[in-house]
Amino acid sequence: FLMCQHKAPHRTFSPALRHLGAFDDVEIPVPANLFDDYQNRSPTLSKNEMEIDRHFDWAYDAKVRKDERGDVQLPKPDRYGTPEYNRMTDSQKQVWDAYFGPRNQKFLKDFQAGKLNHQDLVRWKYRRYMRNYLSTVKAVDESVGRMLKYLDDHDLAKNTVVIYSSDQGFFLGEHGW
């Protein structure tokens, strides 16, 4: 019996450095219900604190650190900080900053210039979130692929049952979550 678990598909989505930018050229469609107002449904839905619009954290989820923002005031929330960044080595931070830094500065410049209305801002958050998510789970795909290859290479695949499951409960944009 062997069980292998990956934390990667859970927040905070922090891609492996080798996967930064893997989905930059992919146009990520916005779910039709990204701007759901939850009318005519359970009041509990509007009380959940998981909306990309109102609860998406700038540093934790979007990777826009406070020290990068200067005097730009972004809408709240900003509560969690950057735990994954704080654990990186200096050389890892250089790679991370070289990727996110210019993109964050462009975003902050556009935001400060008023180029993003409310819906544009939510769409930007959603796409940043999804690119980080997809880049993060790319490493899970690699790991599962290595395990399956090992089974094939060692003639074990025919005598092995592989069960793949997930506890991923994020909506990834559906209903604004």
Answer with the residue of higher pLDDT: 55 or 119: 119
User: Hey, what are 44's tokens?
Assistant: 């509990």
Over 70: is that where the pLDDT of 61 sits? yes
For residue 112, give both structure tokens. 């400060």
CA–CA dist 161, 111 (Å, integer): 51
CA distance 152 to 93: 37
Percent of the chain with pLDDT over 90: 65
Q: What is the pLDDT of residue 94?
A: 98
Q: How far apart are CA 130 and CA 121, in angstroms?
A: 14
Chain mean pLDDT for the chain: 91
> CA-CA distance, 14 to 133, in Å (whole number)?
8
Q: Where are the beta strands (DSSP E) in the chain?
A: none
Q: Which residue has the higher pLDDT, 153 or 81?
A: 153
- How confident is the model over 104-130, as a mean pLDDT? 96
Confidence at residue 168, expressed as pLDDT on a 0 to 100 scale: 65
CB atoms within 10 A of CB 172: 13
Between 101 and 44, residue with greater pLDDT: 101
Least confident of 31-45, 84-98, 103-117, 140-154: 31-45
**Joined tokens for residue 70:** 């200067």
- pLDDT at position 49: 82
Contact predicate 77/57, CB 8 Å: yes
Q: What is the pLDDT of residues 122-169, one digit of tens each?
A: 999 999 999 999 999 999 999 999 999 999 999 999 999 999 887 766
3-state SS of 67-108 is HHCCCCCCCCCCCCCCHHHHCCCHHHHHHHHHHHHHHHHHHH
Rounded distance between C-alpha atoms, residue 17 and residue 36, angstroms: 34
Residue 87: its pLDDT value, please? 94
Task: Return the pLDDT at 2.
Answer: 82
The pTM assigned to this predicted structure is: 0.89
